[in-house]
A and B are shown apart, each in its own frame.
Chain A
Amino acid sequence: MSATTKNVGQFSRREFLKTGAAGGAALVIGFHLGLPSPASAGEATARKFAPNAYIEIEPNGDIHLWIARSEMGQGPRTSLAMILADELDADWAHVKVEQADLDAKFGDQTTGGSFSIRSSWDPLRQAGATARAMLVTAAANTWNVPASECVTRNSAVRHPKTKQKLGYGELAARAAALPVPKDVPPKKPAEYRLLGTKKKRVDGEHIVIGEAHYGIDTKLPGMLYASVARPPVFGARVKSFDASRATAAPGVRKVVEVPVVEMPPLFGEERKENSGHQHYLWGGIAVVADSTWQAMSGRRAVTVEWENGAGAEESTEKQRATCAELVKGHGKEIRKIGDPETVFASATRKIEAEYELPFLAHTPMEPMNCTAWVRDGKCEVWAPVQNPGGMATALTKALGLPASAVTIHITLLGGGFGRRLNIDYGVEAALISQAAGAPVKVQWTREDDVRHDYYRPMSHHRLRAGVDGTGKVTAWMHHIAAPTTDGVYVGGDLPDSGGTELAGVGLPNGTVPNYLVEQSFLHTVVPRGYWRSVDISWNHFAVQSFIDEVAAATGKDPLELRRQLIATKQAAVGEGGDEKPVNLERLRRVMDLAAGKSDWGKPLPAGESGARRGRGIAALYNWGTYIAYVAEVSVGKDGGVRVDRVTCALDCGQVVNPDMVAAQMEGGIVFGLTAALYGEITFEGGATQQSNFNNYPMLKIDAMPHVEVHIVPSHELPGGCGEPPVPSIAPAVANAIFAATGKRLRRLPFQTQELAQG
């Protein structure tokens, strides 16, 4: 190695911080290596104003805003800081945004479920409003004027009558001496200065010059690198291994066996007795070396003999056959209204269809990695992680350490999409560091990532609708056959533990007088996990496609049928498991908005080279958000599908940052469209058959549709925006393909060969 150049990266990072971010922005993401505070820290603490976990104002005027969620592109470092800064009336151009480590003072730090803004909305507004009230009191006391006569703006309190002004830094020590008031009212929408504006992302400048710090960029003094040979078949264990060639390879320090470890439920619940909960880190052989490449090369030189378990029986062919059989019978009744079977049996018109979706991998662009340092009865990790609390729980169990001995630094995440709610890679890194006696960064390859994911489960759906003589839908039945997704998170793998599977059935739930959702489970050892939009991604495809089928069978416009269903609402509807009230009028409004903006009902211009063209609609409520898409497609003679344009209308309540909302819609459409066009993970002999982007392809720029986003202005509670844009794109496109070709594609990814002409 060249000793002369090893500090290049560190130098440029320092240089960057010293000179300020590109474009003159002053926002800085702090990254904390966990080094001890300088000796003067005690004095500074006494004079700084830190009324809660999220806000620190220093005497020099620096305002630090702490973000206790994980940034993976969805924008909490910007949006949560905007909520705090708005209530605080802080000068946005000069706040310093800091990434929090895992710390009990922040409460639950899980980033998932499109929940960051929703769960932070009240606490962060309260935190900002309280701090502002204390700064105002400190200023009013100083000037001996009524607090009600003081105003705040740009990190300063002013008293207009006497033209006095004190900056927040000047007030910090005095504010810190005041009692923290309770129940300070947050701003009214008319008073918002930042909320609802298109502020630029606080970390964008770091990203475009290559200075953003992801998990993979962690480097510690004396750090070693590891690559792990993991079981090629689900549930296989190391029987024996020969590391002699690897240990002789240059740079290889150690070859260690990673033990099989039983993992706790990842959302902190105790394992339920007899629940069938079965979640293991399956172990493997780790090669620890002086560089990533040496570790990867060393790993290839290790020969491992594996002992297969029951997982070797898993195959996609068998799973599909089982699910297809399951949906033909009856399952556990989840929601039942009226007498759907009888009404269906006597319906004038009976419509039936079956749908099928595959397993999917998450494949965030940054492959799994984690840096861990286990020493002296302590464990410190640097992790790109969505679930630091779950990682801490799993680490304490795996290492036999008390919770107080585990420190988790949350880095920037190169994508998450739910994969990093699972924390296998963190436990693995800690075990390897422990065995190596050194700080170790474990780097997964893309092949590791694709083959050792917690996959979005496959599912089969049987839908039946009965229509009476007047064209009214009188019965609706939906049977879902799928593995449970929740097991690794909440413990349990039995049908009784089903929860998220039912979310997203959506319309027509509550609008049809005789309604049934039933569910059958596919038992499998294939690891499953939450994938952006979880099980709504599958239910929604089936339901929104089937509404279109009912419309076609009854000669109705698909939008008009949805309007009619909403108009016949007769039972309270809620979101999935949490039964939050749903306002179907908000759903109707976004459908109408998308329809209007997309010229729904008007003829489409002819396609290029004789391509058949069509529009399709799908609409969703969930996560407190309402979204409608109209997709326009062209279907070529060879059956190739091109999505030309997607018109998106959404109502997500109060918008924090409309540009970031639009970005989530654009990105969510790509995520859902990638799955609809290409996404399929299959198994044979208990092994995943895909390995990398060559056989698990992603949508690229040349297939990107033109996306327009229209946001309904609202001051309702904020809804989520990370997951809601994903589910509706597949059914909107399927419905558009039907409009273009008269052919109904009921299986994802789309089997486009069925659309070829001649």
Chain B
Amino acid sequence: MDAIEITVNGKAHSVEVSPDTPLLWVLRDTLGLTGTKFGCGIAMCGSCTVHVDGEARRSCTTRISAVAGRSVTTIEGLSRDGSHPAQVAWIEEQVPQCGYCQAGMIMTTAALLAKNSSPTDADIDEALSGHICRCGTYQRIRAAIHEAASKHSSAAAPKTAAQGETR
């Protein structure tokens, strides 16, 4: 196995794994970044969502070889202290129940807000409709995204934490 170079949360890594290994398992098992969750393995639930070069992507179906040399941001890299507007809003609205799906929800939300600072309900439906929350927190997720958007757009420098962390 050749080493594959990736950048995760702004830090360069060289990992020796089979090239067909999903990014998800490299993050979790090799790098110990367990905030990204395994939910279905077929990109049907969104629990494993991370950013690859700022775009939301399902890590369970992304081979590590496909992200060689690219920059990955996980929930651990979104902010060090839970200060990303989505994370703040998630607490404000008390979104999580079991919480297992929420890292993926937050990562997709962060990617959405980076492109669209004031998403409509339809925009939210489109961005998040690939995600499953079995606890059924959807109403609060919607409220939190609107809440985050209002903070996000009022922030002085509306950059995504992903960009901030991986630069």
Contacts and interface: CB of A to CB of B under 8 A. Distances in A.
Interface in A192-215: 200-201, 203-205, 207-214
Interface string B21-35: 110010011111111
8 contacts: A73-B96, A208-B102, A219-B32, A446-B40, A659-B94, A666-B136, A693-B45, A702-B129
Given A9-B76, A693-B132, A700-B130, 13 more contacts: A1-B17, A4-B14, A22-B91, A208-B95, A209-B79, A250-B1, A293-B29, A415-B100, A668-B136, A670-B133, A693-B44, A701-B131, A702-B125
B134 A671 contact: yes
Nearest to B105: A701
Interface of B: 1, 3, 11, 13-18, 20-22, 25, 28-42, 44-45, 47, 74-76, 78-79, 81-83, 87-88, 90-91, 94-103, 106, 124-126, 128-142
Contacts of A201: 94, 96
Per CB-CB distance, the 6 closest pairs between chain A and chain B, nearest first, are A210-B35, A22-B82, A670-B136, A9-B32, A414-B100, A73-B97
Contacts of A694: 42, 44
A35 interface: no
A2 B56 CA distance: 26
A435 interface: no
A250 B17 CA distance: 9
Interface stretch (A311-319, A364-372, A731-739): A364-372
Interface centre among A7, A291, A365, A659 (most CB of B within 10 A): A365
A293 B18 contact: yes
Contacts of A208: 75, 82, 87, 90-91, 95-96, 99, 102-103, 106
Q: Which of A200, A204, A213, A674 has the most CB of B within 10 A?
A: A204
Contacts of B131: 700-701
Contact of B44 (A75, A674, A692, A702): A692
A8 B32 contact: yes
A524 interface: no
A647 B93 CA distance: 20
A227 to B, nearest CB: 11
A1 B17 CA distance: 7
B69 to A, nearest CB: 15
Contacts of B45: 365, 446, 693, 698
B34 A446 contact: no
B134 A415 contact: yes
Contact of A366 (B28, B37, B95, B124): B37
B27 to A, nearest CB: 9
A363 interface: yes
Nearest to A725: B136
Contact of A700 (B94, B99, B132): B132
A346 interface: no
A219 B102 CA distance: 21
Contacts of A23: 82, 88, 91
Nearest to A413: B98
Contacts of B20: 297
Nearest to B89: A208
A514 interface: no
Contact of B96 (A204, A297, A416, A702): A204
Contact of B136 (A75, A203, A367, A699): A699
Point out which of A205, A225, A667, A669 has the most chain B C-beta atoms below 10 A from its C-beta: A667
Nearest to A10: B32
Interface string A644-669: 00000000000000011001001111
A192 B131 CA distance: 39
A446 B39 contact: yes
Contact of A365 (B33, B100, B130): B100
Nearest to A217: B34
A21 interface: yes
Contact of B142 (A363, A671, A701): A701
Contacts of B101: 365
A704 interface: yes
Contacts of B130: 700
Contacts of B96: 73, 201, 204, 207-208
B82 A209 contact: yes
B100 A692 contact: no
A73 to B, nearest CB: 3
A670 B39 CA distance: 18
A32 B95 CA distance: 26
A19 interface: yes
Contacts of A414: 37, 98-100
Nearest to A670: B136
A701 B129 contact: yes
Contacts of B124: 701
A291 B25 contact: yes
A72 B29 CA distance: 23
Interface string A1-29: 11011111110100000010111000000
A71 B100 CA distance: 12
B131 to A, nearest CB: 7
A9 B90 CA distance: 23
A692 B132 CA distance: 12
Contacts of A22: 81-83, 87, 91
Nearest to A200: B94
- Which of A212, A294, A447, A694 neighbours the largest number of chain B CB atoms within 10 Å of its CB? A212
Contacts of B1: 250
B125 to A, nearest CB: 4
Contacts of B136: 666-671, 674, 699, 704
A116 interface: no
A738 B69 CA distance: 58
A657 to B, nearest CB: 10
Nearest to B42: A692
Contacts of B11: 5, 8
Nearest to B28: A292
Contacts of B41: 445-447, 692
Contacts of A6: 30-32
A2 B98 contact: no
Contacts of A692: 40-42, 44
Given A5-B13, A9-B32, A701 B125 contact: yes
A700 B75 contact: no
A103 B11 CA distance: 42
A706 interface: yes
